């Protein structure tokens, strides 16, 4: 999967709090991935308005401070995030590197294509909201553990160091497991890749980092340090020869890890080195703390806590792995669902309609009139699912107003006098006849925005009825009935019923793809 961290940085710098997982999921499943169009379309999906244009080089100074651009490097076009500096220098970043060059040099490689967005002014704190939430949670949990520890005991300096390093080890272990599960952190990635031969992911996911093929060294670290934290919180004396022996074995594993990184994989993992450093501190503290006891009960306590945390953590990790796999399956599913050939194949297998007679039946219309690209939407005033369908029809028409024409019909039986929503349909059609299409669309939009609240809507629109509106509803209803359209919302695209495997919102990928 392509790395879009520079584009996410572009969004974050403009105060849009977009998670990398959500962005990568949407863009990776786009039918035109990895084009510039797939990026702008993903922006639209995330409700971020963007403008893409070809700009003359003479207008470069008039561009905003930050934007996306296409540059030509080594006869290869790439999409980069550009920041204009006050000193005339240009900083541009791609997925793998950041460069700072002069304006003149940048203009030489710039293909004059840009994508710009307006900064999100709705919340100045959006940029850091997700990060801050995790930081607050981490600080809160750490503070609570520290408070519990000091409330339960009167610790010595050695005990404080041992407990503090246990918490630090647990935190680093969590980051190691996150990398193992593919939940990468941009900050951790920068730390891990800061050296010439350093790559945490390669080391953590290599074969040598697993015990018995399934349990990783990261798992062992989480089990080990979480057990130590619980032992300290329960005021169990860790300054026992049993814990020194246990710490000695952890040093043996540390030596193995150092050997494996230096001579086997020949890459360094700064997270792993941090764990080794923490273990060395704990081993040193135990040696110089003046151990004087050998309590047989400590063996059972240590085994109990290690077994408990092994059971809890391995069970939790199994579920986390399944969630990670489901995320990947979702991306694969969206790629499949948004594949044009598959869509067309399923569409042609659906019931086809003769829609020429629909041009004679009045209905509400969205977009610019164009019979060649007509979409028919069948709605009902009583249908809750029609609320989102109508919203989607509006978005489709607004996205491509020059080419996309949508006509809305009601599947509403005018003879069913017991249907309280019939008067809503009659009123909207009557508004269409007397005040025009725009007024009728406004009335329908306010109806759905009211949440199908008849009393609330009636305050703005007095119920109306005429023989002509009844006749139009009758024509629309019998057309639906004769063509066996028995549910709403129903969408007719290219004279075929939209397959149930697709939602109306999926059409945007295929309509815009064609245009």
Q: Where are the domains of the chain?
A: 4-117, 133-325, 351-512
What pLDDT sits at residue 400? Answer: 61
What pLDDT sits at residue 401? Answer: 45
% of the chain with per-residue pLDDT over 70: 85
What pLDDT sits at residue 407? Answer: 92
CB 183 within 8 A of CB 204: no
What pLDDT sits at residue 125? Answer: 44
What pLDDT sits at residue 274? Answer: 93
What tokens appear for 230 in the block? Answer: 């619980």
pLDDT at 123 over 50: no
pLDDT at 234 over 80: no
> Exposure pattern of 129-148 as b/e (b: 16+ CB <10 Å)?
eeeeeeeeeeeeeeeebeee
Same fold, 4-117 and 351-512: no
> What are the tens digits of pLDDT across the range 290-349?
665 667 777 888 889 889 999 999 888 888 888 777 776 766 677 777 778 888 888 888
CB 270 within 8 A of CB 194: yes
Alpha-carbon distances, residue 514 vs 342, 399, 400, 403, 444 (angstroms):
15, 13, 11, 11, 29
pLDDT grade, residue 230 (50/70/90)?
Answer: confident
% of the chain with per-residue pLDDT over 90: 16
Choose among 507, 508, 492: nearest CA to 351. Answer: 492
What pLDDT sits at residue 307? Answer: 92
What pLDDT sits at residue 127? Answer: 41
What is the overall mean pLDDT for the chain? 82
Stretch (H or E) spanning 77: strand 76-84
What pLDDT sits at residue 474? Answer: 92
Phi and psi for 299 in degrees, rounded to 5?
-65, -50
pLDDT at 514 over 60: no
What tokens appear for 334 in the block? Answer: 């969206």
CATH fold for domain 133-325: de novo design (two linked rop proteins) (1.20.1440)
pLDDT grade, residue 222 (50/70/90)?
Answer: very high
- Poorest-confidence range of 3-17, 18-32, 263-277, 332-346? 18-32
What pLDDT sits at residue 409? Answer: 93
What pLDDT sits at residue 446? Answer: 93
What is the average per-residue pLDDT within 285-289? Answer: 84
What pLDDT sits at residue 148? Answer: 63
> What are the tens digits of pLDDT across the range 250-279?
888 899 889 999 999 888 999 999 999 999
Choose among 467, 465, 463: nearest CA to 455. Answer: 463
What is the average per-residue pLDDT within 70-86? Answer: 87
What pLDDT sits at residue 293? Answer: 66
Q: Note the CATH number of domain 351-512.
A: 3.40.30.10
pLDDT grade, residue 239 (50/70/90)?
Answer: low
Prior bond of 34 cis (ω within 30°): yes
CB 66 within 8 A of CB 82: yes
How far apart are the C-alpha atoms of 66 and 64, rounded to whole Å?
A: 5
pLDDT grade, residue 157 (50/70/90)?
Answer: confident
Choose among 389, 423, 422: nearest CA to 406. Answer: 389
What pLDDT sits at residue 131? Answer: 45
- Poorest-confidence range of 131-135, 227-231, 404-408? 131-135
> What are the tens digits of pLDDT across the range 192-209?
777 778 888 888 888 888
What pLDDT sits at residue 150? Answer: 62
What pLDDT sits at residue 515? Answer: 45
Q: Note the CATH number of domain 4-117.
A: 3.90.70.10
CB 412 within 8 A of CB 455: no
pLDDT at 130 over 50: no
């Amino acid at each position: 999967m392509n790395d879009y961290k520079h584009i996410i940085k572009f969004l974050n710098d403009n105060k849009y709090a977009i998670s990398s997982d959500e962005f990568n999921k949407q863009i990776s499943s786009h039918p035109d991935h990895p084009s510039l169009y797939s990026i702008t379309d993903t922006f639209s999906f995330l409700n971020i308005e963007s403008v893409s244009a070809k700009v003359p080089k003479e207008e470069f100074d008039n561009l905003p401070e930050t934007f996306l651009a296409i540059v030509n490097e080594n006869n290869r076009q790439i999409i980069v995030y550009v920041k204009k500096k006050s000193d005339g220098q240009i900083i541009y970043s791609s997925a793998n590197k950041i460069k700072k060059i002069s304006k003149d040099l940048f203009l030489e490689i710039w293909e004059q294509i840009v994508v710009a967005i307006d900064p999100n002014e709705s919340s100045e704190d959006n940029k850091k909201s997700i990060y801050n939430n995790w930081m607050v949670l981490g600080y809160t949990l750490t503070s609570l553990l520290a408070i519990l520890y000091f409330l339960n005991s009167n610790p010595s300096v050695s005990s404080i160091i041992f407990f503090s390093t246990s918490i630090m080890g647990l935190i680093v272990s969590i980051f190691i497991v996150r990398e193992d599960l593919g939940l990468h952190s941009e900050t951790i990635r920068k730390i891990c890749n800061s050296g010439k031969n350093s790559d945490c992911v390669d080391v953590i996911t290599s074969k040598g980092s697993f015990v018995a093929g399934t349990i990783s060294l990261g798992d062992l670290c989480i089990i080990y340090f979480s057990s130590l934290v619980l032992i300290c919180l329960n005021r169990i004396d860790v300054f026992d020869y049993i814990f020194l022996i246990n710490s000695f074995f952890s040093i043996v594993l540390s030596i193995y890890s150092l050997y494996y990184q230096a001579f086997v994989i020949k890459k360094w993992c700064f997270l792993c080195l941090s764990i080794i450093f923490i273990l060395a501190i704990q081993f040193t503290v135990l040696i110089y703390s003046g151990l004087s006891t050998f309590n047989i009960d400590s063996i059972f306590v240590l085994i109990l806590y290690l077994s408990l945390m092994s059971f809890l953590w391995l069970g939790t990790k199994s579920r986390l792995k399944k969630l990670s796999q489901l995320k990947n399956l979702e991306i694969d599913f969206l790629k499949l669902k948004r594949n044009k050939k598959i869509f067309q194949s399923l569409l042609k297998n659906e019931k086809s309609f003769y829609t020429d007679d629909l041009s004679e039946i009045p209905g509400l219309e969205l977009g610019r009139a164009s019979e060649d690209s007509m979409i028919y939407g069948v709605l009902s005033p009583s249908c809750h699912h029609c609320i989102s369908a109508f919203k989607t029809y509006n978005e489709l028409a607004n996205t491509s107003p020059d080419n996309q024409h949508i006509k809305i019909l009601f599947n509403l039986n005018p003879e069913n006098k017991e249907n309280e929503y019939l008067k809503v349909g009659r009123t909207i059609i009557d508004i269409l006849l007397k005040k025009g299409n725009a007024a009728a669309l406004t009335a329908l939009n306010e109806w759905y925005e009211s949440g199908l609240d008849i009393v609330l809507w009636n305050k703005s629109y007095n119920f109306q009825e005429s023989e002509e509106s009844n006749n139009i509803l009758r024509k629309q209803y019998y057309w639906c009935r004769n063509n066996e359209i028995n549910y709403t919302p129903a969408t007719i695209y290219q004279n075929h019923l939209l397959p149930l495997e697709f939602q109306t919102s999926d059409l945007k990928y295929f309509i815009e793809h064609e245009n």
